[in-house]
Structure 1
Amino acid sequence: MATRLRTAVAATLTGTVLLVSGCTGQAPDGGAEEPSESLGALGDITEQELDWDACESGPSDAECATYEVPLDYDEPGGDRIEIAVKRMAATGDDVIGSLLVNPGGPGGSGYDYVDHASFIVSDQVRERFDLVGFDPRGVGRSTPITCLSAAELDDFIGEGAESVDGDGDMAELTEAGVADMEEDSRGFVEACRTNAPDLMLNVGTVNVARDMDVLRALLGDEKLTYLGASYGTHIGAHYAERFPDRVRALVLDGAVDPTLDQLDLSVAQATGFETALRAFVEDCLAREGCPLGESGDTVEDGVAALDAFLASTAEEPLSNAVDDREIGRARTELGVLAALYSESWWERVRQGLDDAVNDGDGTVLLQLGDELYSRGDTQEYENSTAALIAVNCSDSPSPREVGAYAEAAEEAGEESPIFGPSLAWGALPCAFWPEEAVYDGGPLDAPGAPPIMVVGTTRDSATPYAWAEALAGELESGFLVTRDGDGHTGYRMGDACVDRMVDAYLLDLEVPGDGMACA
């Protein structure tokens, strides 16, 4: 179960190193800050024009274009790849400029995200900004990274621990189980080597930030205004680190802690999912007909009932009215996991659990898991899973010993017995990712950047609140806005106080007091 970081709004709507020199904002000896890299070094890349035209999908007033960027920024005159971009024009006349947005992932489509402009930002922001989204390199309509076929992805995502442990519990795998996990992870990486040997070396977030700076220049904006949610905060932090003097305003909502490697992120994420799971179970038990228990039962009772049910599906899979895939524990877990991204999914997950527990029908839970992993129909996936793993493994060094993942699975299981072990083992492909593709450029503190807003939600499931505190503290100009609530991300999640602060910052660059809480 690879870690997916997607904004709650995007999840609801979609019901879906890099050979880098000078990546850090400080000189290698810790001396003076280096200037942003010159766009002039990119040659004719910055002389392109965005040829806006009608889009193949989305609102009728949206316009779309593509632009080219170097595959490898160390060789700007070499091979190029294509980036797809969509724009929704500002609704008013007094336009500040462009607001670039990203919904998370890695693997989420900023291109499609723009279709839901009224959900992403307030009417006031829509009036003053052209809303612009792009598919990052490796994703969707941009030059995509593809590793496994759809059938191979079904096996990779859905089989989980069914074949290696009687109840599917991944906290303590047998020796054979660990060997199977290692074989699957190595196979994924080798498939990337076969199908995308060059792109897999150049999909990390530092390059996405560079691509975004090219887009900023092509849009004619002197400085960047950006709203990144979930994993999108990592893009924004990399941008600020590399181009601090080109920042106007960055809102980083549902932050990722850039000091953690992929395995550490997975273990830490387990705490967030456990908090969200308990909130979901508590809400369920308060409702008539909850499939996890009844009124008077404790949250611990409900969680135990869920755990026992999941164990039963490893031995006796659920029925499937969609296709011939077997719905064992791994696919059932994925369906329940959907509840932990947004309260808006709780009702569907309850229904799915009711069907599964009382009738043995796993169809709804299967569909929920498909939506999380962008399996758009019964035949094909979007490429978001390949992008998810490729970017995660490229963004920071991870342990190379399989035993480290076993230890992490045990640790994560202590924090989140149901989901923690799967999250830790989901990072295992990173143990085999090409070392030359992994970013190891040091901290992201963005010296010299103007104030950067970090938004954290106290009971965020996918990006724990501690990550927002960490990012706001690491960025030299970072300041924290706190939403006290459930669900993933804070802006446009029903808190008028947070929305006012974000809007005032985007529109007028107003900065509230550090640590300002909205409660």
Structure 2
Amino acid sequence: MDTRRIPRRTRTAAALLAAAALLVSACSSGGASGSSASAAHAGLAALPRATPTALAPYYAQRLAWRGCGVPGFECATLKAPLDYADPGRGDVRLAVARKKATGPGERLGSLLVNPGGPGGSAIGYLQAYAGIGYPEEVRARYDMVAVDPRGVARSEPVECLDGPDMDAYTKTDTTPDDAGEVDDLVGEFKKFAEGCGADAPKLLRHVSTVEAARDMDILREVLGDEKLTYVGASYGTFLGATYAGLFPERAGRLVLDGAMDPSLPARRLSLEQTAGFETAFRAFARDCVRQPDCPLGGPRTTPEQAGRTLTAFFGKLDARPIPTGDIDGRRLSESLGTMGVLAGMYDEASWTQVREALTSAMRENDGAGLLMLADAYYEREAGGEYSNLMFANAAVNCLDLPPAFDGPDQVRESLPAFEKASPVFGRSLAWASLNCAYWPVAPTGEPHRIEAEGAAPIVVVGTTRDPATPYRWARALAGQLSSGRLLTYVGDGHTAYGRGSDCIDLTINAFLLRGTPPADGKRCS
């Protein structure tokens, strides 16, 4: 569940939301709400310290670095076993990239980064931001490294639908009004799942977070690092925490920003994230109504009133999608309009863009702005093709945890709770949680605690009004980890490092560069 992440200062109308995938992930997978307490509170067991003989060749491999088209970066291919329980069944080939430490100062080793998702390309994130935008003093001392997890981007990507089929999938009504619309939604979920199963029947059984974490340990050894240094955002916090749980003695300086709570079943995760988006929308609405051009109301309009206005607009889109000027003739449906608004909630720097897009749609019958936001979230290219983000997102989530709902009846029963959590988005997000019910591969994981007993201090970062990873999750993960240190950013947006808070950045830099963790409970604004 996650997300990708793009720092506040780099998010623009043209490049939005590296964190967006968490919306789909937490809403589309995880344990059912009836999961037993024992499953929810079981701890992730550490693996034996000694490397199994069957895995020794993987840990002994040497990477052949080469140029990869982006100046200053080099790439290589890492081999890992398809199935860690049976390494003889074949390999997966994982794409790795790095930008070597620039100096001056003593080299501290490798710093592995992951932007979340699941499904976000870590290599794309490294080349577009982390390798050039992380603090200069961090890049001077560390080789900046990324690996696309199995099934993602450059690492044997899972593919499910072609462009036209994805267009149909993304515009499908996620607030069905009758049995026929429910059947249409279920049909799209089934078509998506069947496409993924047909594309990668073997790999689809081996894209779990546990396996991705084990791949990172092979990479750590191959890079020559005694311990892993890592910054993970959103879903990347789950991946990093999983690594610490499996290899606590090898966990070095870990930063988990926009943290997830691995002990929760998916229905609970989805419900709490739904409430998180409502919190973010209310903050957006309070800002919007102070602006002279806000289409949701004037200075005396309450967030509740603004929400009702937006909900009414979504209802109009449901009845009659509006034009967008798209060359393919796409119109803005309710589902695409909702996604466009949700996408803009990840970062307050996007609020102006959302307000302007809503103004155009609500007052001028022009849905182009909201469609652009939705397309950026889904990583739809101008030519109509999609990245594999959404495919990998579902593949990982549906394997990591049992489905949130078994069928439409369970969704209907949960609608009151979701609509209470968010009158604006609850209904749509509840139905979006149904997709893993039709997944072709049985899940291999369950909700669990991660304690990582014996690990070095781990910095867990939470933002108080984070829409996608509610602040409560950061407090929960920091409390589970035996060495967790909670660092709080009091503010809006998804994740905190590199997004404008000097207090956050200096604290994390001190940890990465000098190994000095913050006092547990430190707060920044």
Q: TM-score, normalised by structure 2?
A: 0.89
Give the secondary structure class of the aligned counterpart of 1:140: coil
Give the 3-state SS of the residue equivalent to 2:449 in structure 1: coil
- What is the CA–CA distance in structure 2 between the aligned matches of 1:40 and 1:449, rounded to whole Å? 25
- Partners of 2:273 and 2:45 lie apart in 1 by 35
Partner AA of 1:515 in structure 2? G
Counterpart of 2:297, as a letter, is G
Instruction: Report the CA distance shift for 1:361/1:457 in structure 2 as closer, same or farther (over 3 A).
Output: same
Deviation (angstroms), 1:387: 0.6
Equivalent residues in 2 for 1:452-491 (5 A)? 452-491=458-497
Aligned to 1:260: 264
Q: 1:430 maps to what in 2?
A: 436
Q: CA separation in 1, counterparts of 2:467 and 2:374?
A: 16
In the alignment, structure 1 residue 316 sits paired with structure 2 residue 320: yes
1:52 corresponds, among 65, 69, 73, to: 65
| Cα distance in 2 between the residues matched to 1:425 and 1:277 | 19
Selected match of 2:382 from 363, 377, 392: 377
- The alignment status of 1:439 with 2:445, answered yes or no, reads yes
Residues 1:66 and 2:77 aligned together: yes
Identify if the C-alpha distance between structure 1 residues 63 and 75 changes in structure 2 by more than 3 Å, giving closer, same or farther.
same
* Equivalent residue in structure 1 for 2:309, among 302, 305, 309: 305
1:357 maps to 2:362: yes
Amino acid at match of 1:180: D
After superposition, residues 138-177 of structure 1 pair within 5 angstroms as: 138-161=151-174, 169=175, 173-177=177-181
Q: Percent identity?
A: 44
204 and 390 in structure 1: CA distance in 2 versus 1, 3 angstrom threshold: same
Structure 1's 368 and 31: CA in aligned 2 closer, same or farther, altered over 3 A? closer
CA deviations on 1:352-375 (whole Å, 9 max, x unpaired) are 112111211111211110111111
After TM superposition, list the pairs within 5 Å mapping 1:43-122 onto structure 2: 43-56=56-69, 58=70, 60-93=71-104, 94-115=106-127, 116-117=129-130, 121-122=134-135
Task: Please tell me whether the aligned partners of residues 249 and 509 of structure 1 are also in contact (alpha carbons under 8 angstroms).
Answer: yes
Q: Distance in 1 between matches of 2:44 and 2:111?
A: 33
Which structure 2 residues correspond to residues 98-247 of structure 1 after superposition, within 5 A?
98-115=110-127, 116-117=129-130, 121-161=134-174, 169=175, 173-247=177-251
Aligned to 1:250: 254
Find the aligned partners of 1:30 and 1:303 in 2 and give their Cα distance. Answer: 40
Give the distance between the partners of 1:438 and 1:190, measured in 2 at CA. 19
Instruction: Give the whole-Å Cα distance in 1 for the aligned partners of 2:45 and 2:189.
Output: 42
CA distance in structure 1 between the partners assigned to 2:384 and 2:47 by the alignment: 49
Counterpart Cα distance in 2 of 1:399 and 1:185 = 14
Matches of 1:377 and 1:446, distance apart in 2: 44
**Residue aligning to 1:7:** 5
Match of 1:339 in 2: 344
- In structure 1, distance between residues paired with 2:200 and 2:45: 38
Q: How far 1:350 moved relative to its partner? A: 1.6
Q: Is the 8 A contact 2:47 2:247 kept in 1?
A: no
Cα gap change, 1:369 to 1:34, in 2 (>3 Å): closer
Aligned residues: 496
Equivalent residue for 1:411, pick from 405, 412, 417: 417
Structure 2 alignment gaps of length 5 or more:
18-28, 30-41
Unaligned ranges ≥5, structure 1: 18-28, 162-168
CA–CA distance in 2 between the matches of 1:278 and 1:400? Answer: 28
CA RMSD of aligned residues (A): 2.3
Shift of 1:177: 3.3
CA contact (8 A) 1:37 1:243 kept: no
SS in 1 for 2:278: helix
Is 2:110–2:229's contact at 8 Å kept on the other side of the alignment?
yes
| 2-structure distance, mates of 1:409, 1:183 | 20
1:281-300 alignment, distance < 5 Å: 281-300=285-304
The CA deviation at 1:460 is 0.5
Please tell me whether residue 35 in structure 1 is matched to residue 75 in structure 2: no
Q: Give the Cα–Cα distance (whole angstroms) in 1 for the partners of residues 378 and 412 of structure 2.
A: 24
Say which is worse superposed, 76-85 or 139-148, in terms of deviation.
Answer: 76-85
* Residue 120 (structure 1) shift: 5.2
Match of 1:275 among 259, 276, 279: 279
In structure 1, C-alpha distance between the alignment counterparts of 2:522 and 2:275, rounded to whole Å: 24
AA aligned opposite 1:175: A
User: In the alignment, residue 438 of structure 1 is paired with which amino acid?
Assistant: T
How big is the shift at 1:452?
A: 0.9
* Higher mean C-alpha displacement, 480-489 vs 117-126: 117-126
**Which string of whole-angstrom CA distances, capped at 9 and with x for unpartnered residues, describes residues 50-95 of structure 1?**
2111113x4x111111111111111212221211111111121411
Partner SS for 1:5: coil
User: Is the contact between residue 405 and residue 433 of structure 2 (CA under 8 Å) also seen in structure 1?
Assistant: no
Counterpart code for 1:107 = G
Q: What letter corresponds to residue 141 of structure 2 in structure 1?
A: R
Q: Distance in 1 between matches of 2:203 and 2:131?
A: 34
Alpha-carbon offset, residue 383 of structure 1:
0.6
Q: Deviations over 1:399-443 (max 9, x none)?
A: 452133333333111111222222222221222335644213842
The aligned residue for residue 22 of structure 1 is none
Find runs of 4+ consecutive structure 1 residues off by over 4 angstroms: 29-34
Measured in 2, the distance between the counterparts of 1:37 and 1:373 equals 42
Shift in alpha-carbon separation, 1:467–1:31, aligned structure 2, 3 A: closer
